[in-house]
Amino acid sequence: MDPKIIQALDEFVARFGSDLLPRLKNIETQGQNLAHELEKLGNVREDPEYHGDVSTFEHSLEVVGLLQKIYSFMYKQEHDEKLNITALENALSALPFKLGEHLDNRVGKHRRKELLFFACIFHDLGKLKNFTHMMREVEKENVKGIKRFLFHADFGRLYFEDEMTAIDESIKHYEEKLATEQQTPIKKQFYEQVMAYFKELKETFESRKEFFEKLELGSEERKYIAFVIKNHMDLLNFYRQFSDAYKARESKEGPKLTANFVKNIIKKVDEYDEHYVDCMLLNFCDMLEATHSTGQKTEEMYLFFQSCMGIYANAVTLKGGGKMVFKDGKPAFEAKPKQKYNLGNLFKNFPKDEALKIKTIVAAAEDPQKALKDAGYDEYKIEQIMAIIAN
């Protein structure tokens, strides 16, 4: 096993404790191949535009290093020059719970922080297979080229996936594409090679399952790892949306761009559910490493991270008509202003006792019409009441 992998595992175990990672190290030194697969990523070069002129292996270890530094800050209050601690604090303080406590909860037998660290190490494993099965000629047919590592998140997910049906579904998907779409020779060859990879995964499913059983990585844990890896690229497009909204925050277009960004992140909050924060952490570490390695400024990246955590914490308010705004360049969240009603008009149109009853219901309600309906008023009466208090 590469000494850099051993160092990363040992540092995590020494500082944060682990059941999974020592077992991985022990099994790998006896001739298993998961770490060896990771080492092969040393032969895959990242595009300097996105990750600096490094191998995917080096990139993966840098992402792991950033996650470990965040853990060190969270669990031991240690600062590091690679992190903007103030910005990180602002992002994490937006959460409705302590992140450390969330990551100490178990998924199956293992703590989330171990599984997230494990997923972080192997998040780009799919790039090796993607690299193997891509052809540079694809660029000529206007298909995303090799530097973009097409489908690598799915390739990585299916390596850890615990359900044979997921692999069968992928094979069926590309069989249908070949059968129903007109393909150029290059595209046809590409899809056939993608299917060859999926079939290879299917053939090795039992041996991988046996390996993960030795690792004591059960079905629930593997589903978690597969889910986080699958979604580790999702937020990149949303970062671009955020960047556009942030740059336009003082213009007429700003609120519209911000609202669109919020709408899309809310969808991810619902889709990721309890795994949202975990996916966000891996996405953030991956993108922050790219920002560091390409020499770009990190301020906007931290504001994006803070916004995503804030949207998660304020999801109910935002779904209820609230909005995200920028105050002094920082994201802030505002509830939908409560509509003002002329409740005095009730006393001109109803007996005193009835007027008081209606006033109490309306004044306490977020949705007066629903509250009146729940109180037993029919639709005609509600319409009459709303017309009276609107004047």
Over the chain, what HEC string results?
CCHHHHHHHHHHHHHHCCCHHHHHHHHHCCCCCHHHHHHHHHHCECCHHHHCCCEHHHHHHHHHHHHHHHHHHHHHCCCCCCCCHHHHHHHHHCCCCCHHHHHHCEECCEEHHHHHHHHHHCCCCHHHHHHHHCCHHHHHHCCCCHHHCCCHHHHHHHHHCCCHHHHHHHHHHHHHHHHHCCCCHHHHHHHHHHHHHHHHHHHCHHHHHHHHHHCCCCHHHHHHHHHHHHCCCCHHHHHHHHHHHHHCCCCCCHHHHHHHHHHHHHHHHHHHHHHHHHHHHHHHHHHHHHHHHCCCCCHHHHHHHHHHHHHHHCHHHHHCCCEEEEECCEEEEECCCCCCCCHHHHHHHCCHHHHHHHHHHHHHCCCHHHHHHHCCCCHHHHHHHHHHHHC
Of residues 42 and 71, the one with the higher pLDDT is 71
- What was the pLDDT predicted at 49? 64
Average confidence (pLDDT) over 157-181: 79
CB atoms within 10 A of CB 385: 22
Residues 184-202 have a mean pLDDT of 76
Which pLDDT belongs to residue 162?
66
Q: Where are the domains of the chain?
A: 3-230, 235-334, 343-390
pTM: 0.79
Given this model, what pLDDT does residue 129 score?
65
Among 1-5, 29-33, 328-332, the range scoring the smallest mean pLDDT is 29-33
Tokens of residue 158, six digits: 């299916």
Please write the tens of the pLDDT for every residue from 252-303: 999 999 999 999 999 999 999 999 999 999 999 999 998 888 888 889 999 9
Q: What is the pLDDT of residues 66-112, one digit of tens each?
A: 999 999 999 999 999 899 999 999 999 989 999 999 999 999 999 99
Greater confidence (88 vs 144) lies with 88
For 342-374, the pLDDT digits (tens) are 898 999 999 999 999 999 998 888 788 999 999
